[in-house]
């Protein structure tokens, strides 16, 4: 259920001594749904390396914001290294109570990255619109699917995702050079796939790895009109910037 490749950013221009919160949310790319020829209940069809449109999007899913777990933190901390949203998880379960981002499977989404300045002034709500900045990288758009439609993407995840080690038949170093992790320039520097992680506890692909990997592959990443999404975004930002927001961010 973890987003893969992991969303990563490098941040510049913050006040080193000021506090900031980093957030992510997801908005639909369009108001369409898609079908699959042999499976009419599916919303997307992958044919000849492209997706086929089949109608209007499904009803909107509950809008949620994911806080980076280190929020709030000083600007100096955020800027000293690449910030990775590797804890972010996606689901299509409308009744999810774990705080995961809820998406409709077989729809297209645009991740959005938000930087929120923690304003120390007592009347900070007056400056709410000035205290956050939203960044959108179009190369991070993706289709929420139950399984990858391209075998090379499947192999990339097996090789690069530390939760997919149970599926590996050999060490990635034994792969042909053009199939090694990092050989496919999928995203820009603002959304890099993170490097393979070598953890002693996972070297041999335990049953726990395999179970987690199967959940990764088998569980769906659970549209809406674009203006509805924007309205929901404004409501979420209002809550984020509220003085009553708990300091931990969550």
Express each pLDDT in 138-180 by its tens digit.
Answer: 999 988 877 777 788 888 888 887 777 677 665 555 555 554 4
Q: How many domains does the chain have?
A: 1
User: Would you say residue 217 lies in a domain?
Assistant: no
Range of the domain at 77: 1-169
pTM of the entire structure?
0.63
User: Would you say residue 233 lies in a domain?
Assistant: no
Hey, what are 126's tokens? Answer: 């007056």
CATH of the domain at 130: 2.60.40.820
* Opening angle at CA 51, ends 49 and 54, nearest 5: 150
Q: Is residue 103 a contact partner of residue 91, using CB atoms and an 8 Å limit?
A: yes
**71 vs 58, 61, 98, 246, CA distance in Å?**
33, 25, 18, 11
Centre a 10 Å sphere on the Cβ of residue 232 and count the other Cβ atoms it contains. 19
Residue that the structure tokens 């961010």 belong to: 249
User: Would you say residue 232 lies in a domain?
Assistant: no
Which has the higher per-residue pLDDT, 101 or 165? Answer: 101
User: Would you say residue 231 lies in a domain?
Assistant: no
pLDDT in tens, 206-246: 444 445 545 554 443 333 445 555 666 666 666 666 544 44
User: Would you say residue 43 lies in a domain?
Assistant: yes
**178 vs 56, 72, 121, 148, 192, CA distance in Å?**
39, 40, 54, 20, 18
């Amino acid at each position: 259920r973890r987003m893969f490749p992991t969303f990563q950013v490098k941040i510049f221009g913050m006040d080193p001594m000021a506090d900031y919160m980093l957030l992510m949310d997801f908005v639909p790319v369009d108001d369409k749904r898609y079908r699959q020829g042999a499976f009419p209940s599916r919303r997307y069809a992958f044919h000849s390396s492209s997706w086929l449109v089949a109608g209007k999007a499904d009803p909107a899913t509950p809008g949620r914001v994911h806080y980076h777990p280190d929020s709030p933190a000083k600007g100096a901390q955020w800027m000293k290294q690449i910030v990775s949203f590797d804890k972010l998880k996606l689901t299509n379960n409308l009744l999810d109570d774990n705080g995961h981002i809820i998406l409709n499977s077989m729809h297209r989404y645009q991740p959005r990255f938000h930087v929120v300045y923690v304003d120390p002034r007592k009347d900070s709500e007056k400056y709410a619109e000035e205290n956050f900045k939203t960044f959108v990288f179009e190369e991070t758009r993706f289709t929420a699917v139950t399984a990858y439609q391209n075998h090379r993407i499947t192999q990339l995840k097996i090789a690069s995702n530390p939760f997919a080690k149970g599926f590996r038949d050999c060490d990635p170093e034994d792969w042909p050079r053009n199939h090694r992790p990092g050989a496919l320039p999928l995203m820009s520097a603002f959304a890099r796939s993170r490097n393979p992680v070598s953890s002693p506890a996972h070297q041999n692909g335990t049953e726990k790895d395999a179970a987690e990997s199967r959940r990764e592959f088998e569980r769906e990443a659970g549209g809406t009109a674009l203006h509805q999404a924007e309205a929901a975004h404004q409501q979420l930002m209002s809550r984020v910037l509220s003085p009553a927001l708990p300091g931990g961010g969550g």
